[in-house]
Amino acid sequence: MSATILFTIISLSAIGATAAIILYFVAQKFKVYEDPRIDQVEEILPAANCGGCGYPGCRGFAEALVKADDLSPFFCPVGGNETMAKAADILGKAVEAKDPLVAVIRCSGSPIHRTRVNKYDGASSCAISSSLYSGETGCQYGCLGLGDCVDVCDFDAIYMDEETGLPVVIDDKCTACGACVKACPNIIIELRKKNKKDRKIFVSCVNKDKGGVAKKACAVACIGCGKCVKVCPYDAITLENFLAYIDPNKCKLCRKCVIECPTSAILEINFPERKAKEETADEDSKTQVKETNARPAGEKENDIK
């Protein structure tokens, strides 16, 4: 009995030892030199492997950083400036800080504002729906509501609001990797500058139809009236194809255009509530810091009616 056990132990150990020796020599023989800095850089990257930098995963990005002479075309949207600075430290190269970005959904066409005129019954994918036809509503530009952006988000930063049928970005989780921007067939999602306190002003519409057509399809569409362009003191707003666009780099968040917009297509987000009307609006009213997550006060109640 004990002989059997002994024999088993000896033979297994012998096999193990032989295998270890062979493995050691094989590993020596096929050793590939790799820049140790790649490992160091990869270490400080967020390991999200989201591809937001344009490289296949964090290791791919690390390799690219090590090889590159100039770091300015590279940016890790997840780690942001901090990570880039650390990477630059390791590599002994310089890097400039970039403005942090966040994804915004440029469509407010909930069923209240935008009536559904037919019923889509195909596979639940925006890409399929958009290649088939213009969508369930009269607006061919707006959100299709089938959630391709939600599916591609690696950070759970987007969810579909069941009531409005529109995606909502959770700003704190959004890393601006740009996956949703690529996934959206109607190019509704845009990466915009993350301002102080995450305040945002943008045209929440991408409808390029003439005013009448747009308004008929959706109550909160940009009708291309140009009032915002006139009122903007910083020339930040341009109008093209009956659609206004606010340049995030020129916009100073004065909120004049928001009041001016007749269809409330321009949204202000994370601003304190306005005290009264226009005059006080652009003053920095620090009272009543209640997050108004949409159009001017009073508008919502009207819509529901």
Q: Which residues bind another protein (CB under 8 A)?
A: 116-123, 125, 127-128, 131-136, 140
Residue nearer to another protein on the CB measure, 24 or 133: 133
Residue nearer to another protein on the CB measure, 79 or 165: 165
Neighbours of 35 (CB within 10 A): 12
Q: How far apart are CA 178 and CA 191, in angstroms?
A: 7
Q: What is the DSSP letter of 262?
A: T
Name the residue type at position 271: F
Q: How far apart are CA 123 and CA 276, in angstroms?
A: 48
Rounded to the nearest angstrom, the gap between the alpha carbon of residue 89 and the centroid of all alpha carbons in its chain is 28
Helices 36-44 + 80-91 axis angle, to 10:
160
Cβ 127 to another protein shortest distance, Å: 6
Cβ 283 to another protein shortest distance, Å: 45
Cβ 131 to another protein shortest distance, Å: 7
**Of 185, 180, 187, 201, the residue nearest 265 (C-alpha):** 201
Cβ 114 to another protein shortest distance, Å: 14
The torsion of the CA quartet 241, 247, 250, 253, rounded to 10 degrees, works out to 110
SS3 (DSSP) at 1: coil
Cβ 209 to another protein shortest distance, Å: 9
Phi (first) and psi of residue 167, to 5 degrees: -75, 150
Residue nearer to another protein on the CB measure, 52 or 80: 52
Residue nearer to another protein on the CB measure, 122 or 262: 122
Residue nearer to another protein on the CB measure, 154 or 171: 154
Residue nearer to another protein on the CB measure, 116 or 197: 116
End-to-end CA distance of the chain: 89
